[in-house]
Structure 1
Amino acid sequence: MAIDLERLVRYPANSEEWATILLVGGVLTALSVLIVPAVLLLGYLLRVLRAGMAEAAEPPGFEDPRTLLYEGTVASIIVLVYQFVPLFVATLTVGGTVLAVLTGVEVGVVPGLVGLLGGLALAAILAVVLGYVTLIGLANYAHEGDLRAGFDLGVCRAVAFDGAYAVPWLYGVLLLVAGNVVAGVLGFVPVVGVLAVFYAQVAAAWAWGKGFADARGLDDAPESQGTATG
């Protein structure tokens, strides 16, 4: 089923508790540079993935924070494993540049700059490519409730090459870009900026959840609640 763009854009506010959800989500987004808020936010977005799989009309709430923290922690592990290579490349690139400066190694300004930018560009490309697969792993974990499901390469491969997932994935990315543009334009009002980013994340996660369910042929996606195993 094609995604209704208007429904998708309205989704994060389609609840009687929308103001509370946006407020809590905005606070967690603003504090996501810290570990616990970031983990709680990731746990919530897993709930939104499930909501997308079930094509729920309303966004989930933030009740049961212990479950949010647990699932967010498991999701963080999944993200870190998939993103290890781009993180390693970026760290190696920046670390090598800093080491060269501190030790006085003369590689020349232009070669050094090319190496730095080239390494960061490679890390960014790897992050995007692996990020595409990371979301599939997160969605499969959200669906199955098992950590191992996050690394089911068979599912990742099948969904990644299915247009039923690829198109909603693109919708989600565009929503994130739009949210960050709004945040940038309204940066002089910090509250509005973080709310825009969170709003876009919720809409994007719903789209990704629906795309995953369509690609997997899930008629009624179960809503696992913190049943992951190692």
Structure 2
Amino acid sequence: MGVDLERLVRYPANSEDWAKFLLVGSVLTALSVLIIPAVLLFGYFVRVLRAGMVEAAEPPGFADWRGLLYEGTVASVIVLVYQFVPLLIAAVTIGGTAAVFLTGADVGVGWGLAGLLAGLALATLLAAVFGYVTLIGLANYAYEGDLRAGFDLDVCRTVAFDGAYAVPWLYGVVVLVVGNVVAGVLGFVPIVGVLVVFYAQVAATWVWGKGFGDAMGIEAAPGPRATVTETVDRGPQP
């Protein structure tokens, strides 16, 4: 359950070709407002989850782009399914508020603002709750290499209530928050801010994978499933 904070912070820079790795990741992060770069990032983070499960010392590289795209597409489907309810609430809230504003009535505008804030607050809360479980689904997909594994409710329930996962999950959240704060401070240099965000995401994803591996009893090489250690870089192929 313990997390070596120094190892966690240093992990994304452990690659032999760390400069190229961080540059490619930063470019994809900067372009993640577009569908293809975002999907490729999802695929890469699936590999980082897999690396965390076996506590790999180095982050996986950006190899086999076709595999990244495939795994990223599956991961995107898993995320969208888990986040459907929060997204629906947000969409209904925004749509309802827009309709109220169109009435032009002062009272309607007041109620519309109140509804917008309440709806978005609820959507954000649910997104965080569902997000906790979403990561378990993604990690189980990374482990099993099967879309159906992403929705294994028995695994989700078991891991979600295990401190071996909960504690690393919290560490990952803290790393992300700190990374985004630092990126905000350094935002006047765009590429640096994006690099910090990607760096933090890799570290957080690795420790989430470690938490899943600890909760599931996945060992470092040789693990209980050879595919875990063999596919840290490549991932299961379509």
The alignment's TM-score, normalised by the length of structure 1, stands at: 0.96
Q: CA RMSD in A?
A: 1.3
| Counterpart in the other structure of 1:72 | 72
Between stretches 106-115 and 35-44, larger displacement belongs to 106-115
* Counterpart residue number, 1:92: 92
- Give the secondary structure class of the aligned counterpart of 1:108: helix
1:153 maps to amino acid? L
Aligned identity (percent) is: 75
| Equivalent residue number for residue 16 of structure 1 | 16
Answer yes or no: is the 8 Å Cα contact 2:172–2:203 preserved in 1: yes
What displacement does 1:194 show? 0.3
1:141 and 2:141 correspond: yes
Aligned partner letter, 1:226: P
Contact kept, 8 Å, 1:70 with 1:226, in 2: the verdict is no
Does 2:101 correspond to 1:101? yes
Letter in structure 2 aligned against 1:110:
G
Q: Is the 8 A contact 2:40 2:68 kept in 1?
A: yes
Give distance in 1, aligned partners of 2:192 and 2:210: 27
Q: Does structure 1 retain, via aligned residues, the 8 Å contact 2:101–2:112?
A: no
Give the partner amino acid of 1:102. Answer: L
- 1:34 and 2:44 aligned: no
CA distance in 2, matches of 1:155, 1:107: 48
2:157: which partner in 1? 157
Amino acid at match of 2:145: G
Deviation at 1:227, TM superposition (A): 4.5
1:97-148 per-position Cα deviation (integer Å, ceiling 9, x unaligned): 1122224466434322111100000000000000000000000000000000
1:1-230 map, 5 Å: 1-104=1-104, 107-219=107-219, 220=223, 222-223=228-229, 224=231, 225-227=235-237
CA displacement 1:31-85 (0-9 Å, x = unmatched):
0000000000010011100110010000000000000000000000000000000
Instruction: Give deviations 1:146-167, integer Å, cap 9, x for gaps.
Output: 0000000000000000000000
Q: Which runs of 5+ in 2 are unaligned?
A: none
Q: Aligned partner of 1:24: which letter? A: V
CA distance, structure 1, for counterparts of residue 71 and residue 103 of structure 2: 43
1:66 is matched by which residue type in structure 2?
A: R
**Residue by residue, what CA displacement relative to the aligned partner does 1:155-204 show, whole Å, maximum 9, x if unpaired?**
00000000000000000000000110011001100000000000000000
- Contact 1:49/1:209, CA 8 A, preserved across alignment: yes
Q: Distance in 2 between matches of 1:82 and 1:70?
A: 19
Unaligned runs of at least 5 residues, structure 1: none
Distance 1:2 1:28 in 2: 32
Contact kept, 8 Å, 1:169 with 1:211, in 2: the verdict is yes
TM-score of the two chains, using structure 2 as the length reference: 0.93
